Structure 1
Amino acid sequence: MVKIESFTSLKGGSMPDNSDNDCSVPQIGEYSNKYMEEYASACSSGNLPAVQQLIEGGKINIKEDYDEKNHITGLHWAASNNKLLVVDYLIRKGADVNIKDHNTGSTPIQWAARYGYVYIVAFLSKNGAKLDACDFNGSNLLHTAVISSNVMMVLYVLFFIVDKNHIKVDAQDSNGRTALYWAVTQGDSWTVEALIKYGASLSLPDNSGVNPLCVAIAKGYKKISSYILQHYDDYEFETEAYDSCLATAQRMRATDIFYSILSNNNYTTKGQRKKPISISVRRREFSIILCTYIMIWSSTYIFLQCTLFIGLLLSSMIAIFTVFFIQKTLIITSTSEASGRRCKSLVLSPFSLATFSSVLIAILTVGAAEMRDIWRPSLYYTITYLLGTLFVTYLLHYVYTSDPGNIPPEFSHDKIRQDMEDLLSLNNFDVSGFCLTTWVRRPFKSHISPLQKKRVAGFDHYCMWLYNDIALKNRKAFFYLLLALQILLYFHIFLCVSYFKSIQTAAWNSASILPFEALKQVLAENKKVLLSLIVATFQLLIVTNSFVCQLLTVLQGLTIQEAKMIKNFLYQETTDYQRYREYFNLRTESLIIYNTVNNLASATKIRPLKVIKLRERLPNKNARRRFLSLYNILNMCGWSTLVIPKRNKDKMNLLANEDIINPIYYGWKRNLADFFLTSDENSSLLCRLLHFNTTSKALLNGKETDFFTLYSLPSTRNHVSSATRLV
Structure 2
Amino acid sequence: MAGSGLACKKHCHGLHRPPTHNCHSVHGDTDLSVTPGPPPVVEDPSTCDIVKATQYGLVERCKELVEAGYDVRQPDKENVTLLHWAAINNRQELVKYYISKGAIVDQLGGDLNSTPLHWAIRQGHLPMVMLLLKCGADPSLIDGEGFSSIHLAVLFQHMPIVAYLISKGQNVDTVDLNGQTPLMLAAQKALGPEPTRFLLKFNPSLNAVDNVQKNTALHWAVTSGNTSAVDLLLEAGASLDIKNGKGETPLDLAYQSLNRFMVYMVREEERVRSRRNNRLLKIVEKYELFVLLTSSLTFMWAIGYIMNLSSDSWLLKGGLLFLLLFGMALFVRQCVGLKNLSMLGLLYYFYKTWRSDPGYVKTSEKGRKENIVALAEAGCLDFRTFCTSCLVRKPLRSVHCLACNSCVARYDQHSLWIGQCIGIGNHRYYLLLLSFLTLTGVWLLYGTLLYWSNHCVTSYQEDGAWTYFTQIMHCSPWIAYIFTLATFHTLWASMWLTVQLYQIAFLGLTSHERMNLLMQRKSSKHPISLRRTPYNLGCFQNLADFFQCSCFGVFKPNVVDWTKQYNLFHLSKERNVCSV
* Higher mean displacement: 183-192 or 311-320: 311-320
Alpha-carbon spacing, 1:208–1:498, altered in 2? closer, same or farther (3 Å) = closer
Alpha-carbon separation, structure 2, partners of 1:487 and 1:2:
71
Give 1:514 deviation, angstroms.
Answer: 10
Alpha-carbon spacing, 1:149–1:313, altered in 2? closer, same or farther (3 Å) = same
Mapped pair 1:674 → 2:545: yes
Alpha-carbon separation, structure 2, partners of 1:38 and 1:194:
43
The residue number in structure 2 matching 1:710 is 565
Residues 553 and 559 in structure 1, CA contact (< 8 A), matched pair in contact too? yes
Question: Which consecutive unaligned segments of at least 5 residues does structure 2 have?
Answer: 18-44, 572-580
1:632-664 residue CA offsets vs partner (Å, 9 max, x unmatched): xxxxxxxxxxx95333xxxxxxxxxxxxxx342
1:37-70 residue CA offsets vs partner (Å, 9 max, x unmatched): 76545544xx44x342353366986633865321
* Pairing partner for 1:612 from 517, 525, 531: 525
Alpha-carbon separation, structure 2, partners of 1:532 and 1:246:
53
Mapped pair 1:489 → 2:441: yes
Alpha-carbon separation, structure 2, partners of 1:194 and 1:429:
15
Alpha-carbon spacing, 1:467–1:567, altered in 2? closer, same or farther (3 Å) = same
Matches within 5 A, 1:538-577: 538-555=488-505, 556-571=507-522, 573=523
SS state at 1:111 partner: helix
Mapped pair 1:466 → 2:418: yes
Alpha-carbon spacing, 1:396–1:211, altered in 2? closer, same or farther (3 Å) = closer
One-letter code aligned to 1:299: I
The residue number in structure 2 matching 1:576 is none
Alpha-carbon separation, structure 1, partners of 2:251 and 2:91:
43
Give 1:107 deviation, angstroms.
Answer: 1.7
Alpha-carbon spacing, 1:242–1:213, altered in 2? closer, same or farther (3 Å) = farther
One-letter code aligned to 2:298: I
1:358-391 residue CA offsets vs partner (Å, 9 max, x unmatched): xxxxxxxxxxxxxxxxxxxxxxxxxxxxxxxxxx
Alpha-carbon spacing, 1:297–1:121, altered in 2? closer, same or farther (3 Å) = same
Residues 55 and 61 in structure 1, CA contact (< 8 A), matched pair in contact too? no
SS state at 1:645 partner: coil
Residues 160 and 381 in structure 2, CA contact (< 8 A), matched pair in contact too? yes
Alpha-carbon separation, structure 1, partners of 2:317 and 2:49:
81
The residue number in structure 2 matching 1:402 is 356
One-letter code aligned to 1:485: L
Q: Under a length normalisation based on structure 2, what TM-score does the superposition of the two structures give?
A: 0.77
1:426-484 residue CA offsets vs partner (Å, 9 max, x unmatched): 43212332223332212222223344322222221122222322221211111122223
Alpha-carbon spacing, 1:227–1:453, altered in 2? closer, same or farther (3 Å) = same
Residues 448 and 454 in structure 1, CA contact (< 8 A), matched pair in contact too? yes
The residue number in structure 2 matching 1:583 is none
Matches within 5 A, 1:226-375: 226-229=231-234, 238=241, 241=244, 244-246=247-249, 253-254=256-257, 260-266=264-270, 276-278=277-279, 279-280=281-282, 281-283=285-287, 286-305=290-309, 309-310=314-315, 313-314=318-319, 316-318=321-323, 320-330=325-335, 332=337, 342-343=339-340, 349-350=341-342, 353-354=343-344, 357=345
Alpha-carbon separation, structure 1, partners of 2:129 and 2:349:
52
Give 1:299 deviation, angstroms.
Answer: 1.9
Alpha-carbon separation, structure 2, partners of 1:35 and 1:183:
46
Alpha-carbon spacing, 1:455–1:81, altered in 2? closer, same or farther (3 Å) = same
Alpha-carbon separation, structure 2, partners of 1:244 and 1:30:
50
SS state at 2:330 partner: helix
Identity among equivalent pairs (%): 20
Give 1:91 deviation, angstroms.
Answer: 5.1
Residues 299 and 328 in structure 2, CA contact (< 8 A), matched pair in contact too? no
Give 1:263 deviation, angstroms.
Answer: 1.4
One-letter code aligned to 1:64: V
Give 1:676 deviation, angstroms.
Answer: 0.8
1:306-330 residue CA offsets vs partner (Å, 9 max, x unmatched): 5595487346524541453235423
Alpha-carbon spacing, 1:159–1:310, altered in 2? closer, same or farther (3 Å) = same
Residues 62 and 95 in structure 1, CA contact (< 8 A), matched pair in contact too? no
One-letter code aligned to 1:567: L
Residues 54 and 62 in structure 2, CA contact (< 8 A), matched pair in contact too? no
Residues 215 and 245 in structure 2, CA contact (< 8 A), matched pair in contact too? no
The residue number in structure 1 matching 2:212 is 207
Residues 137 and 173 in structure 1, CA contact (< 8 A), matched pair in contact too? no
The residue number in structure 2 matching 1:75 is 83
Mapped pair 1:122 → 2:126: no
One-letter code aligned to 1:408: K
Alpha-carbon separation, structure 2, partners of 1:500 and 1:433:
59
Alpha-carbon separation, structure 2, partners of 1:285 and 1:532:
24
Alpha-carbon separation, structure 1, partners of 2:547 and 2:257:
58
1:667-702 residue CA offsets vs partner (Å, 9 max, x unmatched): 222211110116xxxxx857x99xxxxxxxxx9x94
SS state at 2:563 partner: helix
CA RMSD of aligned residues (A): 4.3
Give 1:419 deviation, angstroms.
Answer: 0.7
Alpha-carbon separation, structure 2, partners of 1:177 and 1:557:
51
* Higher mean displacement: 468-477 or 321-330: 321-330
Alpha-carbon separation, structure 1, partners of 2:241 and 2:249:
11
Alpha-carbon separation, structure 1, partners of 2:460 and 2:386:
72
SS state at 1:672 partner: helix
The residue number in structure 1 matching 2:30 is none
The residue number in structure 2 matching 1:173 is 176
Higher relative contact order (CA 8 A, sep 6+): 2
Alpha-carbon spacing, 1:282–1:437, altered in 2? closer, same or farther (3 Å) = farther
Alpha-carbon separation, structure 1, partners of 2:250 and 2:306:
57
Matches within 5 A, 1:78-89: 78-84=86-92, 87=95
Give 1:495 deviation, angstroms.
Answer: 4.8
Residues 99 and 108 in structure 1, CA contact (< 8 A), matched pair in contact too? yes
Give 1:545 deviation, angstroms.
Answer: 1.0
Residues 217 and 249 in structure 1, CA contact (< 8 A), matched pair in contact too? no
SS state at 1:612 partner: coil
The residue number in structure 1 matching 2:21 is none
One-letter code aligned to 1:313: G
1:491-535 residue CA offsets vs partner (Å, 9 max, x unmatched): 44345555656778xx79xxxx99624996784645555554444
Alpha-carbon spacing, 1:95–1:396, altered in 2? closer, same or farther (3 Å) = same
One-letter code aligned to 2:510: T
Residues 138 and 173 in structure 1, CA contact (< 8 A), matched pair in contact too? yes
Residues 410 and 439 in structure 1, CA contact (< 8 A), matched pair in contact too? no
Alpha-carbon separation, structure 1, partners of 2:125 and 2:85:
13
1:183-213 residue CA offsets vs partner (Å, 9 max, x unmatched): 2222354333444543544323223444433
Alpha-carbon separation, structure 2, partners of 1:103 and 1:143:
18
Residues 62 and 94 in structure 1, CA contact (< 8 A), matched pair in contact too? no
1:62-81 residue CA offsets vs partner (Å, 9 max, x unmatched): 63386532132343234223
Question: Which consecutive unaligned segments of at least 5 residues does structure 1 have?
Answer: 4-19, 163-167, 333-337, 344-348, 358-391, 574-610, 615-642, 648-661, 679-683, 690-698, 717-727
Residues 399 and 478 in structure 1, CA contact (< 8 A), matched pair in contact too? yes
SS state at 1:469 partner: strand
Residues 423 and 429 in structure 1, CA contact (< 8 A), matched pair in contact too? yes
One-letter code aligned to 2:270: N
Residues 154 and 191 in structure 1, CA contact (< 8 A), matched pair in contact too? no
Alpha-carbon spacing, 1:62–1:117, altered in 2? closer, same or farther (3 Å) = farther
Residues 295 and 322 in structure 1, CA contact (< 8 A), matched pair in contact too? no
The residue number in structure 1 matching 2:400 is 448
Alpha-carbon spacing, 1:464–1:308, altered in 2? closer, same or farther (3 Å) = farther
SS state at 1:63 partner: coil
SS state at 2:421 partner: strand
1:217-246 residue CA offsets vs partner (Å, 9 max, x unmatched): 211223423544565686xx6465596434
1:270-312 residue CA offsets vs partner (Å, 9 max, x unmatched): xx96772331445456545444333322222222345595487
Alpha-carbon separation, structure 2, partners of 1:265 and 1:207:
27
Mapped pair 1:516 → 2:462: yes
Give 1:265 deviation, angstroms.
Answer: 2.1
